[in-house]
């Protein structure tokens, strides 16, 4: 099975994982905004011949400096409030309650910087009365804070969505792998039980044949255990497993069965779900050979058709009863195909002119999920 990859994130200490990728995006927007503000201010103010180039830089730069300080604090505290991202009003309320302190400190620091620089330049900084400044700057800061908190909220929410989506995909993959392991586990005891029954039937009548069966069963189990480590296996290994199983069954029914292989050798490296084909061949022996006394022909064909791998296991002579269309083996195969390929793969078992045919279609190349 493939190990699941851990989600990339930083734990906030409040049960919420934060995405570190959101912060560079936020600061890139922040820096671009202030560069634009300073550029526009310079362009507007330099039309006045009495304005020196550094004055608009000072005005916007002092606002940017103090605003950045408060924004750094807001970003630093985002982990504390991340648990409220699902409740926007609560999240915004946690930040906006600090606005009175922001108003006082921002106005005091920004105007102190401006007055200080103007004093060093031996110039006076003319501004409206303090009452107007407090009201005007407070309203502007309210709008400005709401805007950038909205940006931060949007970026954080998107980061949380990405993390939760990765967690969901990992959970789905883990469940699918667990289900595949369960389905594979159902197959092994089933064919082992049938193979041992075959050995038991021969050990008192033909010791040499029973010995060959035990040796073949050992090889079969060795490959089966190795396939437990992988969800997918090359078609060549899957066919080798099928040949070993068929060898055991042919020893039991050798006077009643002819087995024919029609395999396109260019497809042997194609990955297929491990232990997918054995239940189908087992059904051919169980329902097509075991209850009959006349000769049965089984054909295993593998070919490339359109954009899919087509595997057909056909046996002659018998007919498929309705209750046999949804047995444990067939249901198991369908579930595994659905988990791995979704609706892109299929398994059909139908009566045809000469008997019963089980057909598997598996997507290949660009058609594979």
Torsional sign, CA 176, 178, 179, 180: positive
| Domain with 266 in it | 203-367
pLDDT reading at 304 higher than 80: yes
24 domain-assigned:
yes
Q: What angle do CA 270, 176, 20 make, to 5 degrees?
A: 100
The residue out of 149, 170, 191 marking a domain boundary is 170
Q: Which two tokens stand for residue 318?
A: 């018998």
Residue 82 DSSP one-character state: G
Q: Is residue 176 one of the residues assigned to a domain? A: no
Q: What is the pLDDT of residue 312?
A: 95
DSSP string, 228-246: TT-SEEEHHHHHHHHHHHH
Same domain, 258 and 303: yes
Q: Select from 170, 188, 215 the last residue of a domain.
A: 170
The Cα–Cα gap between 279 and 284 comes to: 9
- Number of structural domains, the chain? 2
Decide if 4 is inside a domain.
Answer: no
Same-domain status, 78 and 224: no
d(CA 196, CA 199): 5
The Cα–Cα gap between 75 and 26 comes to 9
- Among 57-71, 177-191, 208-222, 319-333, the minimum mean pLDDT is found in 177-191
Q: Is residue 355 part of a domain?
A: yes
Q: How far is CA 169 from the centre of its chain?
A: 4
**Of 99-103, 133-137, 168-172, 282-286, where does mean pLDDT reach its minimum?**
168-172
The pLDDT of 6-20, averaged and rounded, is 50
Residue 238 lies inside a defined structural domain of this protein: yes
Strands 17-18 and 10-11, bridge-based pairing: antiparallel
Q: Which of 99-113, 172-186, 298-312 has the lowest mean pLDDT?
A: 172-186
Sole residue written with tokens 């010791």? 207
């Amino acid at each position: 099975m493939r190990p699941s990859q851990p989600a990339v994130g930083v734990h906030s200490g409040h049960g919420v994982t934060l995405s570190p990728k959101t912060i560079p995006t936020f600061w890139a927007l922040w820096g671009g905004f202030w560069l634009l503000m300073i550029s526009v201010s310079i362009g507007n103010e330099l039309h006045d011949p009495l304005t020196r180039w550094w004055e608009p830089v000072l005005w916007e730069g002092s606002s940017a400096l103090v605003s950045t300080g408060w924004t750094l604090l807001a970003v630093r505290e985002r982990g504390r409030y991340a648990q409220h991202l699902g409740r926007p009003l609560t999240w915004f309320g946690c930040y906006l309650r600090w606005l009175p302190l922001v108003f006082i400190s921002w106005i005091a620091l920004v105007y102190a910087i401006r007055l200080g620089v103007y004093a060093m330049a031996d110039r006076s900084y003319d501004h409206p009365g303090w009452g107007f400044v407090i009201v005007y700057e407070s309203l502007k800061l309210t709008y400005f804070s709401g805007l950038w908190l909205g940006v931060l909220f949007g970026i954080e929410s998107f980061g949380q969505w990405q993390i939760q989506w990765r967690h969901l995909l990992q959970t789905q993959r883990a469940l699918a792998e667990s289900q595949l392991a369960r389905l594979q586990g159902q197959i092994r005891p089933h064919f082992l039980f049938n193979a041992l029954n075959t050995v038991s039937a021969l050990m008192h009548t033909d010791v040499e044949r029973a010995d060959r069966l035990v040796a073949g069963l050992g090889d079969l189990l060795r490959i089966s255990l190795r396939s437990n480590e992988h969800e997918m296996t090359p078609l060549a290994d899957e066919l080798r497993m099928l040949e070993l199983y068929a060898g055991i069954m042919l020893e039991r029914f050798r006077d009643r069965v002819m087995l024919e292989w029609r395999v396109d050798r260019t497809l042997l490296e194609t990955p297929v779900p491990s232990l997918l084909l054995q239940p189908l061949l087992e059904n051919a022996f169980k329902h097509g050979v075991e209850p009959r006394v006349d000769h049965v022909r089984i054909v295993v064909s593998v070919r490339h058709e359109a954009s899919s791998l087509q595997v057909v296991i056909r046996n002659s002579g018998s007919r498929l009863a309705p209750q046999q269309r949804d047995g444990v083996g067939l249901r198991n195969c369908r579930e595994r195909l659905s988990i791995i390929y979704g609706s892109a793969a299929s398994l059909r078992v139908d009566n045809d002119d000469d008997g019963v045919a089980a057909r598997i279609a598996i997507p290949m190349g660009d058609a594979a999920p």
